[in-house]
Structure 1
Amino acid sequence: MSRQLLTDLNGNKTGQLKKFLDDFNGEPRIAWYPSAGKDFRALFYLNPKFSYLHPVVVKEPQPPDLFLFTDYNPWQNSSFLDKGTIYSDYGIQIIVESIEELTRLDLPLHDEIVQVPEGGPATDRAVFLIIRVESDRLGSITCPVLYAFAENEIFYCKKLIPNKAIITHLIHVRYGGGYGGGGHASGVWLLNVLGKLNCELFITDGHHHWQSGDNKAMELCAFIPKENSSKLTPIRTIKGVSWSDYGDVSFNLVS
């Protein structure tokens, strides 16, 4: 389950992630953002304050308790995850309040999927962050974020599935747009795993076209269903210029 996944990623560490798990009752609701890069907008758009200001006509799923980001090589310099302010513009500040390095992931990369198969200085590491978002519109938001620097496809296959993780929110925005130009997959395979992850809300920029890396993911991981059996019901749209500038971003209930 979700707690099992976080316990696995924590390893034998006794810091902030262990404290989060010790203090949290039940199973945390997790939002997974594969190929997140430096993009922390999901913390803003999935906050209840945003939903309150931009209501929809249907009942939205309860918000996530923790954000899980994956990207095998998301930055070009070490300042990305330094403590302090890492982004400030358009009335929003992103501040890293604390950072804890977790155990090594011990996961491979595949040159048929990623564009830089040798990875980078962060690849195969994981960190647990406490992020504070200061917004002119929403005020102050504090969120726990676990960032695993791994190939999205192999993380799904080797971490999410063996730990029977439930991913309540899945974010597919500018997939593959990390350091070095992204990779060879569009992330369309994520549509096929929505049911397997018990996903409730799928957020996507609509770039669902099969590429060679998506086909390789299907070949590598038997846990990716061959077909998409989920129905998506759009409930909210955010203009692309307000998120990825890569097309409008649609929020979809999953059934």
Structure 2
Amino acid sequence: MDMLQRLLTGATASAGKALERLWSGLPGEPSICWYPSAGNCFRDLLVWRHYPVLREAPEPQLYIHTDYIDGLPDQDEYRDRHTRVSVAARHPLALNEPIRYRVDPAYASLAGLAPNQLGVELLEIHVQSDSAGEFRRPVLYFHMENFNWFEEFVLARGLRISHLFKLREGCGFGGARASVSNLYPFLARAGCRWLIADQEVHLDQHLGRRLTGRHSPSGPEPWQITRTIRLGELSGMEVQAHQLEPGKQTDWLSRATERITRGSPWAVSASQPDYS
């Protein structure tokens, strides 16, 4: 977390105070959940309390959302008969050092709608739920394209993310040209221990080689799934929580993706992608 503390600063006096409160309330190495293509969805904050089967999984201590299209309204995010999620406060943040900001058309199908510069906010999210109770959580929201953020913060600067929450990322008409599943080969390097994900997987070997060549010339580090917990449907898609640990098998990625996609329209073959 030292890297985030070094990089981020409040763009206003009140934002600076809110950021200080955030840092002071976290341990030195907090567990971090990343939600790519989050849009205005905050389901990642609720799953830990909503599903009793996840009680053995540690709830993240900090949430990071990314999306290159700003879909955040100023007030209520979501409301139904049982749940209300609202943005209680938005604090604009600034960066203390330059970050390579780019919305690459190879990754983003709506790149022309992206802002001209990177934006970061600290959100205070207020949840009122019949099943999950009432609580508040801080969310660092980076207005960045997913791959751009992952390369700059995780691969280039070593940020560790303990949880990845992947749900309906918008492949096709939703603005994502490249699936976040193309980052699965780098989950061990990111320190990821829990993958909460739908079953959609699209592996692009050309993209994999591109990322490997830039950041991991010796090849991705293997990992394996040791446990899978079925959560049921979220946003119309089957979602599972997978517990991860470092692995040794040579065909580790094909084993993992086969398990993630099993029984779905995206079920993949057991062939190991070649990123050499």
TM-score range, shorter chain: 0.7 to 0.9
Letter in 2 for 1:67: Y
Conserved in 1, the CA contact under 8 Å of 2:123 and 2:140?
yes
Secondary structure of 1:183's partner?
coil
- Correspondence for 1:89: 80
* Aligned-partner Cα distance in 1 for 2:206–2:69: 16
Contact 1:34 1:152 in 2 (8 A): yes
Within 2, Cα distance between the matches of 1:232 and 1:74? 34
Q: CA deviation at 1:88?
A: 0.6
Residue correspondences, number: 239
Structure 1 contact 73–119 (Cα < 8 Å) conserved = yes
> In the TM superposition, what whole-angstrom CA distance separates every residue of 1:165-195 from its partner, at most 9, and x where no partner exists?
11111112112359x6222111122211110
User: CA deviation digits over 1:38-60, x for unaligned, max 9?
Assistant: 211110003xx335xx236xx83
Aligned-residue offset at 1:213: 8.4
- Confirm or deny that 1:154 pairs with 2:148: yes
More off after superposition, 151-160 vs 23-32: 23-32
TM-score computed with the length of structure 2 as normaliser: 0.76
Q: Larger relative contact order (C-alpha < 8 A, sep ≥ 6)?
A: 1
Match of 2:180 among 187, 195, 199: 187
Q: 2:120·2:142 contact (CA, 8 Å) conserved in 1?
A: yes
Unaligned runs of 5+ in 2: 246-276
> Residues of 2 paired with 1:207 and 1:68: CA distance?
21
Q: Is the 8 A contact 1:97 1:131 kept in 2?
A: yes
8 Å CA contact 1:43–1:143 kept in 2: the answer is: yes
CA distance in 1, matches of 2:218, 2:138: 30
For 1:173, the equivalent position in structure 2 comes to 167
**After superposition, where does 1:41-56 map in structure 2 within 5 Å?**
41-46=43-48, 49-51=49-51, 54-55=52-53
Superposed counterparts of 1:14-25, under 5 Å:
14-25=16-27
**Once the two structures are superposed, what CA deviation does each residue of 1:77-126 show, in whole Å capped at 9, x if it has no partner?**
xxx241x3221114110111111011165511111111122333586211
Task: Return the letter of the residue paired with 2:50.
Answer: F
TM-score normalised according to structure 1 size? 0.82
**Equivalent position of 2:225 in the other structure:** 232
Which residue is 1:164 aligned to? 158
Structure label with greater radius of gyration:
2
Q: Residues 141 and 217 (structure 1 numbering): CA distance in 2 closer, same or farther, change over 3 Å? A: farther
Letter of the 1:187 counterpart: V
SS at match of 1:60: coil
Residue correspondence of structure 1 range 41-80 to structure 2 within 5 A? 41-46=43-48, 49-51=49-51, 54-55=52-53, 60-75=56-71, 80=72
Question: CA contact under 8 A between 1:31 and 1:167: conserved in structure 2?
Answer: yes
RMSD over aligned Cα, in angstroms? 2.8
Q: CA separation in 1, counterparts of 2:25 and 2:176?
A: 38
**Which residue identity lines up with residue 27 of structure 1 in the other structure?**
E
Report the Cα distance in structure 2 between the residues aligned to 1:185 and 1:223, rounded to whole angstroms: 19
Q: Does 1:38 align with 2:40?
A: yes
Q: Which amino acid aligns with 2:110?
A: V
1:208 is aligned to: 201
| AA at the equivalent of 2:83 | I
Q: Percent identity?
A: 25
Indicate the SS of the match to 2:112: coil
Name the CA distance, whole Å, in 1 between partners of 2:191 and 2:59: 15
Give the partner amino acid of 1:62.
P
Q: Quick check: 2:212–2:219 contact (8 Å CA) kept in 1?
A: no
- Judged with a 3 Å threshold, the aligned counterparts in structure 2 of structure 1 residues 37 and 213 are, in CA distance, closer, same or farther, namely farther
